[in-house]
Amino acid sequence: MTKTAFIFPGQGSQFPGMGKDLYDSVPAAKEIFRQADQALGFSLTDLIFTGAAADLQKTYNAQPAILTVSIALLTAKNVLPDLAAGHSLGEYSALVCAGALDFREAVSLVRFRGECMERAVPDGAGGMAAVLGLADEIIEQVLAKSAGVEIANYNCPGQTVISGASTALQKICAELTAAGAKRVMPLAVSGPFHSSMMQAAAGEYKQRLDAARIGEPKIPVVANVTADYAPNAAIIKDLLYRQVFSPVRWTQSVRKMATDGVNVFTEIGPGNVLTNLVKKIIPAN
């Protein structure tokens, strides 16, 4: 028996021109772009298709852009999966897929979420790094010995992202290399996302989130914070608030879905980052 999960990517999967073929060929997808422009009060469509790559990479632009392209692709598919999940920002796409969140509400939310995240930490004060080839348990042990750096993403076995204050991050990167990491790479991001340094962003975001219209999901959605199902609107809002400063438990989320019978994972969005991660988490896929 086939059980399908739609999985939605997060920030970093954006690229100029993404979704243009879909826009040109699928009227329902084109309508999604129109709704995004209307909800935001400017042409996100023009930014995606003809804007500068540097502008698209800005957190407050990248987040609504990826969401829009993901939902345009979802609309073109016109089918509901058995489950849904998304990586960080992608959780909003999953909630739209599940009918818990209206797309126009979602695109407005993630635009504001991105603005809050950009404002939370001064430029250069924090950052992120990918740690390759080192077990999570060892990373956790190294981080426990000093303050200022936390795990941000459990992406797959052997690929973990850490986040925190810049000075502490440099020190920890050297320690993780000494502990046996194959590679530790600083990431080109504008802040220390999914760390406690984002609590100010979460606090600013919370009032807007609390006012958002969120309903009951029609299909199960696995949340990043718990790697478990988010059953109702109140819990969903709390998890989205906590997600801003908590780690993305993607490895655990994929394993949860597989344990519950999912045997087909379909990535809906620009790129194939999550597809590759799933193959490493569950080698049979």
HSE (side-chain half, CA atoms, 13 Å) at 88: 28
Cα separation of 66 and 141, whole Å?
Answer: 34
φ and ψ of 238, to 5 deg: -65, -40
3-state secondary structure of 211: coil
194 is catalytic: yes
User: Which tokens go with 14?
Assistant: 């954006």
Under a CB-based contact definition with an 8 Å cutoff, are residues 95 and 18 in contact? no
Which helix (H) or strand (E) segment holds residue 73: the answer is helix 59-77
3-state secondary structure of 80: coil
Rounded alpha-carbon distances, angstroms, from residue 25 to 19, 20, 28, 67, 71: 10, 9, 9, 19, 15
Angle in degrees, 0-180, between the axes of helices 90-97 and 233-243, rounded to the nearest 10: 160
Active-site position among 13, 70, 88, 190: 88
Cα separation of 68 and 74, whole Å?
Answer: 10
Active-site position among 70, 87, 163, 194: 194
| Three-state secondary structure readout of 212-256 | CCECCCCCCEECCCCCCECCCHHHHHHHHHHHCCCCECHHHHHHH
166 is catalytic: no
Give the active site residues: 88, 194
